[in-house]
Amino acid sequence: MPATQLGCHTIGSHGIKLARFHLYDWIILIFLAVVYGLSNIIEPFHRFVGRDMLTDVSYPLKGNTVPFWAVPLIAIVLPWVIFGGIYFKNKNVYDLHHGILGILYSVLITAVITDAIKNGVGRPRPDFFWRCFPDGKNFNNVTGDVICHGERSVIKEGYKSFPSGHASAAFAGLGFLAWYLAGKLKAFNREGHIAKLCLVFLPLLVASLVAVSRVDDYWHHWQDVFAGGILGLTVASFCYLQFFPYPFDADAIWPHAHFQQLAESQSNSNAAVALRDTSPMLDSMESGRRL
């Protein structure tokens, strides 16, 4: 069903009205962003690390193949570009707004949950040894626990292995995009065009490569990225289905709000037609009463 049946509801014509209707959603979104920021200040739980555990946490301290600043670009900005391109083609502000709002919720809810678990679990990263002991000298001979003398911020990050934030954010954003593309391409319309699925799986492939890079860089154990990926994809699914139909529905191409507005417009149109049709009869009856 083309967006033109809505009379091309654009940002200029319906954007402010739509934003006001979802004002509380945007306020909660800002609140989530603040919570996420505060969660990075909290000192994570320092899990016990004994001498016999060093084998699993003595990998080299490396940089990031995918930098932290690149994750929002991959998980949020890239999908926004696609949302914007579809908007400029179809002029459906409901689709643009719900795509932007949905993916922001997907990533921020995932980020808050991820950091809460990170701080609560306090699992050492695979490179924890060199974060804790940059000079290679280690351990308290009395307690058997580590006494770190590295840089405080580096040690703090060393206790945040589970789950992977890169993996969860990538799957939250790109998982949402995969759902979105499945709906737009009508990937499950039973016509058997398997090529459509290649486009649907492409964002998931990118997310998987981001996750794998965290193991290659020795910032995470494989369980960390697996759990992060599952978490991000689960939240993305809930957020997408809050705004859009299932991809295999006949109306999968547009959000629920599009069809609600279409029904409202049709109802108003029918009421106007009924009023116009009854006006001559009412005028005739009024004339009869005057006579």
- Tokens 């006949």 identify what position? 250
How far apart, in Å, are the Cα atoms of 51 and each of 45, 58, 147, 162, 190? 19, 11, 12, 21, 58
Give the CA dihedral 127, 129, 130, 136, nearest 10 degrees: -150
Contact 65, 217 (CB under 8 A): yes
How far apart, in Å, are the Cα atoms of 62 and each of 10, 44, 59, 146, 218? 47, 21, 9, 21, 7
Q: In the annotation, is 258 catalytic? A: no
Q: In the annotation, is 220 catalytic? A: yes
C-beta atoms surrounding 290 within 10 Å: 6
Which SS3 state, helix, strand or coil, does residue 53 take? helix
For the record, the structure tokens of 68 come out as 């932290």
Catalytic residue among 220, 221, 256, 258: 220
Length of the chain: 291
The number of C-alpha atoms within 13 Å of 284 and in the hemisphere containing its C-beta is: 5
Catalytic residue among 9, 97, 98, 166: 166
Nearest by Cα to 102 from 201, 200, 238: 238
Tell me which residues are annotated as active site: 166, 220
